[in-house]
Every structure is written in structure tokens, then in C-alpha cells.
Structure 1
């Protein structure tokens, strides 16, 4: 069989992606299906192969900084479909996209139709130029591409029926709420204690409450909304670094000498199937366990003494001069895994059991249940005006987190 021409091949791959997303439940709306079948996303990334441009679950990185950190990308179709479903965009809507590269703005333009208006902003002129070229090439004339810091939205075209943020945000600045219509939706990949979920917040009486949340990964926000986690490297030869994304809960200097103590191990009896989602466990530990942070171990310095399941990421609870972290051991047939805890410090045994008890609570009360209820309040709101199991403070917001018990 002769090789198909490129455009025919692109159409074939595009339709295959949409078919896969429909089958996986990521696309439910006929309008989103039609938009994603129509927009030729490969034209935005001419440097990529057609197969890479139409990879269902992989982004195409379009820009890196001098250290190799990704600073711009065209998100994977699965992520884009997920956010578009969350946004609930209707014909005639005015929509702001924060973070641009072209195809997602075109999808939004398809959803709003000729009566709608789409504004897409980026702090960096390079992706804005890329988006501008792509949109001109593909005929989307109702999209305004603006070079601006998304931290401040874009008041010139406000108010918006929806704001879709396509960069990872650590906080929710006031402009995003102020520029959103009552009843409008803010879709944003928000990082809470180092874990990112794309939330669909609905504005009711001026307050934002999450209606849905999905696991995701995004290029980090730049400009005035950028945020760097604080890091502490433990003394010793093991190359252990702890990352505190929402502030250091205790003096990390207390941990000096922790690795000189024996490693404590305990197992929880909480076992999950290999294909069982555990996103709520990660969020439960990150939001409900005091002293939460995550751990990275330099693979070139790893001695095996600490022994995490993943050198790049572990869920950690710092408890004074002790720290404990979640580990996993798989069954012999690889069909299930049990959660356990390792700990170091003068009271490593107590620290291990406290973290293990939190995992057991998740297993008993929240496993298989809904995601936590997330509500946003302005910074400075008094505790007695906020309901929830836990409050996490950002610069602009106080985030209320409540965990419903699973049926």
C-alpha cells in the first residue's frame, strides 16, 4: 500500500486520537469532539513528527531554558480535552486562555463560534509568536494573542465566561476571580503541597469552589506568579533532598543526624490492585499529614540506605527531628502492591506509625471515594469564616480542603 500524503496521514492520526479519547471517556461533548477532529494541531509544531504531534498522552515541548527545564509546550490532546470538558464553553462565550501555543486557542475558538471571543496571553513573546502564526495560518480570526503576564489576566476583554489556565499555578491571583463572570468557570492546574491537579472552579457569590479535579502535569507558570519550592539537603553521603512547596513547617536543621539512626520499616496492610488509581492517597497525605514535603535522591549519590520506591519522588512527613516516607512493595505476580513506611530519626518508630495510620485512614474512609472538596478564600479570611478539615495558606489565597467519606 502506498504511503498516504502528509495531510491525509495527519487527518488519520487526528481522528485516531479523538477516537481513543472518546473510548477513554476524556471526550464526552460532541462540540469538543468536532473541534479536536478539525484543528490541524501538527501545523503548530512543524519541528515534530506527525506521530509526535498526535501522540494522545504526550506533550510536544517547544522551548527549554539553559538548564533544560521546559518553559513552553503544546499540551497532550488528552490534557487539552480534559480541560475543555471542565471549562464547559458554550457558543458566544468570552474566554481567556493563560499560556499559549496555538492549538488550544483554536479549539476554544471552535467552541465559542463566531459570536464568541477568545483572548490568549503569554508572558513570553516566543510562544505568543508561534500561536499567532498558527492561528493566522489556520484562519482563526476571532482570537487575540497578547504578550502579557497572566498573573493579571487581561482586563481589556473582561469579564469572561471561562478562564482556562494552561500553565502550572501555585496560587490563584485576585485578577482571575475579578475578571470572571458570576457562574463562570476557572480551569487551572493548581499545585497544592507539590501535587498538581487541574481544577474546575465555579464562581458563586464571588467565591471559587472546585467542581472537578484531575491529575495532570504542566509547564510551571513564569512571571510574577512563579513560585519555587524551598529545598533542604540532608547532611551525609546519601544525596537526600526534601522539597517544601508550601512553606517549611518545622526547622529542617532538626533533621541533621537523622540519617545516622537505623531505618525503621512498617507495613500498613493497605493493598491496592496494580491498576487502581491512588491519586486520592497522594492528595490525602499531602493535605492532611502535618509536616508534608516530598523527597528526591540524587541517583549518582544513592547508597541504598534510604531505599525509597522512587528516587525522584516520595511522599514524606517531617516530624521534628524525624522523617518518614511512603514506600510500596509489589506482590510476586505484580498484580497488587502494599503501602508501607520507612523512617529515620530518634523517634523513627513513632514517626513511621503516625504516617502509617494516616494511610490506613485513607484506606478505610477515602479509598475509592471522591476527591477532596476544595474552596478558595482571600488571604486574610479569618479561620472561623472557613469550613474544612485543613487550611493551606498561599500568598493570595487560603485553600480549604474537606475530605468526604467514601460510600
Structure 2
């Protein structure tokens, strides 16, 4: 939109073109219209606290934190913005609603829909919307993007245009799909949302189908959490002096006292599956999705660094877990010659049986050709939809919706 006139203009153009080339090579950008949007929008203006190199790196730039240093707002990583733009199906003359403002992504949307399109960007935080409005004006997009300060749980904050938005793009991690998003989405539109469920964070592109939403594409993601009435809930159970926690969604329950007793006993069964992760293979997200789609209950355990030192877990990131009564089983790893082997730790009275059950699921994922290729179908039904009207799959009950995850 703006034309650079500073001595740095050539360097900025080169950095922007290098970013586009990187995103093309990675497969994040597939269309010329998205590539042209990244070439046109001056990302460094929307990240003034970053150096030029940082502004055009394929990484997020944090723009606001809380008093504990946790991110509240950011300019998201270009790779995920590009993938979400591709999933949106937007083109010239279309109408887009962005939930979670910041300015840069709204400017990208404005470039994709063109001068005859429409972009509305909302955020609950007035500091964020003020900043977005200022930077959009500075870069010349203020006449093509309408910024509103409102709770994105309820969509645009004002009546949607006739026929709805052609795409609703959510740029914050959402635990649920509120009814306003479905109602304000055009019949042929796409809802692109980073959805959290059972400890997994995945971007889905949803479309209307027979009174509910069904996923038509997806990618991995990482965003700051939503605020307002659609903020994250859930709860965690401390299993061992803060060194191992079980994170649960609101529709999940576990006997914390019984599980703590099991861990405190020190009696553990471990099964090594023979399934290996090679180097930087990066298939754990695929395994996580497979387990959520085929295993119930399924959640995540989180180990501290001290928990790893104590031998409770093989790593400090989240690991898939299942439980039954006072028995808990969860994934672990151990080093081997050229990577890691997946295994299962289990505590409790039925530790051998539950460990074997989870190990069998891991081997089924490996043997069945799902390794690195799992793309489950997600369906979103209104809360209160009777069970007999749901598609087959694992059901996750949320405040606003019933989410069904299945392998097909």
C-alpha cells in the first residue's frame, strides 16, 4: 500500500521478497494473491519494536504482555498467517471478518480482497484496537479496514452484512465455536480458527454442512488465547508436587486424589513400543491427533524440568495421557541411536493393562500408515444437539458447541 522513500527502502523490499520466497518454498504460500499481499504490506511498521531483520523473519513478534510477561497480543508468525489466508478461500471483492486485531493481518486481508472488498477487524482490548487503527492509518489501510473494539465471541459487534462474511478469520486460540460465528458466516464461506481441544492446538477451516460446520482443511498453529466470553477454561490436577500435572477440559473429570496416591507409591509400569522418532521427524502432532480421534479419555500431562530430573517424564512438553479410576498412563521417550523411542509410563492398580492399551494405540498409528498424515475431520454442532444427531467420533462438549473429532 505505502511506497518506501527512506534509504532503507531497497533493503526492506529485499527482506520482504526473501520472506515471500521462504514461505513459497515451505509450502505456506500457494497462490499469487497471498504472495502479492505479503509483498505489499510493510510488516515492520506493525512491529516497530523489532529490527528490520526481526520484522521480516518467519517468527511472531510480541506486541503486548501482561504483568507476568505472558503474551496478550502479537504479530503472528508469517507462516501461519499465510496458511490461514490460503485456507480462507478469500479473493477480490469478498468480505472478511478478523477476530483478534493487531493491524498487520487485517492489512493482508485487505490486499487479498482488494479495493472492492470489505474487512472488519475486532478486538476486546481498546489498547490493541487503538494501536491497530493508528498503524493501519499510517500505512494507508484505514479506509479499507474497519476496526471495532468489542468481544469477538459475538462476531462483528454489529449486524453482519447481508449474506454474511465470506470468511471469518480468528487470530487467537479459541476453545469453542460460539453461535455468532456460525450465524455470521456466509453459506459458502469459511471459518478459519485456531481451535484448542484436549491439549491440542490446530487451525481448522470450517464450512457449513446440513445444520453444522465441518472441517475442509487444517494446519498446525500457535496463538495467544482469546479473551472475553470465549476465553479458555479447563482445569489442571497436580499429580506430584507440581512436577506433573494433568490438564483437563471442562467436560472431563478425574479422581485427583487416587491418581496422586498412584504416583506417590512409586510403583510404575513402563512399556517401550519399538516405535521410533528419527531426528527432527516432527510426527508428534500427528500422533496426538490420532490419539484424540481414537482414544477416550484423552488429555495431556505436563512435566516440569524437575519432573524430568525425577524420571516422571522424558520431556517437559505436553504428552498424551489416558486414565481410568486411579490409574494413569502417558507417553514418554528415551534416546536411541538416531532418535528417540516412544514408550508409556503408567501408575495405579491397573497400570500394566492401561500401559498396554496406550502402547497398542501408538503401534496402531505407526503400523496403519497414519504416521505424519493424520488429518481428522472436525464437526461443530450447536450445544444441546442430541447424541443421535451427531456424526460418529469422539465428542467434546463445550459451552457453545459439541465438537466431534473423527478420522473420517
TM-score between both structures, scaled by the size of structure 1: 0.93
3-state secondary structure, aligned to 1:360: helix
Per the alignment, residue 401 of structure 1 pairs with 405
Q: CA deviation at 1:70?
A: 0.8
Residue 11 in structure 1 maps to residue 17 in structure 2: no
C-alpha distance in 2, partners of 1:59/1:229?
26
**Bigger mean CA deviation after superposition, 342-351 or 211-220:** 342-351
- 1:264-283 per-residue CA deviation (whole Å, 9 max, x = no partner) reads 11011222433434222111
**Bigger mean CA deviation after superposition, 93-102 or 199-208:** 199-208
Per the alignment, residue 251 of structure 1 pairs with 255
Per the alignment, residue 39 of structure 2 pairs with 37
Q: CA separation of 1:11/1:289 partners in 2, compared to 1, >3 Å: closer, same or farther?
A: same
Q: CA separation of 1:303/1:271 partners in 2, compared to 1, >3 Å: closer, same or farther?
A: closer
3-state secondary structure, aligned to 1:271: strand
Per the alignment, residue 192 of structure 1 pairs with 197
C-alpha distance in 2, partners of 1:163/1:274?
37
Native 8 Å contact 2:308 2:314 kept in 1 = no
3-state secondary structure, aligned to 1:221: coil
Native 8 Å contact 2:377 2:407 kept in 1 = yes
Per the alignment, residue 338 of structure 1 pairs with 341
Native 8 Å contact 1:263 1:306 kept in 2 = no
C-alpha distance in 2, partners of 1:312/1:82?
25
Q: CA deviation at 1:363?
A: 1.6
Per the alignment, residue 129 of structure 2 pairs with 128
C-alpha distance in 1, partners of 2:373/2:57?
31
**Bigger mean CA deviation after superposition, 129-138 or 395-404:** 395-404
Per the alignment, residue 298 of structure 2 pairs with 292
C-alpha distance in 1, partners of 2:302/2:172?
23
Per the alignment, residue 350 of structure 1 pairs with 353
Residue 86 in structure 1 maps to residue 92 in structure 2: no
Native 8 Å contact 2:167 2:189 kept in 1 = yes
Per the alignment, residue 24 of structure 2 pairs with 22
Q: CA deviation at 1:364?
A: 2.4
Q: CA deviation at 1:395?
A: 1.1
Native 8 Å contact 2:95 2:113 kept in 1 = yes
Q: CA deviation at 1:348?
A: 1.6
3-state secondary structure, aligned to 1:242: strand
Residue segments in structure 2 that go unaligned for 5+ positions in a row: 1-5
C-alpha distance in 2, partners of 1:298/1:328?
15
Native 8 Å contact 2:174 2:196 kept in 1 = yes
Number of corresponding residues: 396
C-alpha distance in 1, partners of 2:43/2:371?
38
C-alpha distance in 2, partners of 1:124/1:397?
25
C-alpha distance in 2, partners of 1:22/1:298?
37
3-state secondary structure, aligned to 1:283: helix
Per the alignment, residue 142 of structure 1 pairs with 144
RMSD: 1.8
C-alpha distance in 1, partners of 2:303/2:52?
36
C-alpha distance in 1, partners of 2:165/2:90?
11
Per the alignment, residue 109 of structure 1 pairs with 110
- 1:182-210 per-residue CA deviation (whole Å, 9 max, x = no partner) reads 01000000001111101000123442110
Give the one of 223, 226, 234 matched to 1:218. 223
C-alpha distance in 1, partners of 2:216/2:179?
19
Native 8 Å contact 2:173 2:225 kept in 1 = yes
- 1:308-342 per-residue CA deviation (whole Å, 9 max, x = no partner) reads 1222322221221111111123331x3x4321111
3-state secondary structure, aligned to 2:91: coil
Native 8 Å contact 1:164 1:186 kept in 2 = yes
Residue 151 in structure 1 maps to residue 157 in structure 2: no
Q: CA separation of 1:343/1:238 partners in 2, compared to 1, >3 Å: closer, same or farther?
A: farther
Q: CA separation of 1:237/1:246 partners in 2, compared to 1, >3 Å: closer, same or farther?
A: closer
C-alpha distance in 2, partners of 1:52/1:26?
19
Q: CA deviation at 1:10?
A: 1.9
Q: CA separation of 1:143/1:238 partners in 2, compared to 1, >3 Å: closer, same or farther?
A: closer
C-alpha distance in 1, partners of 2:198/2:148?
31
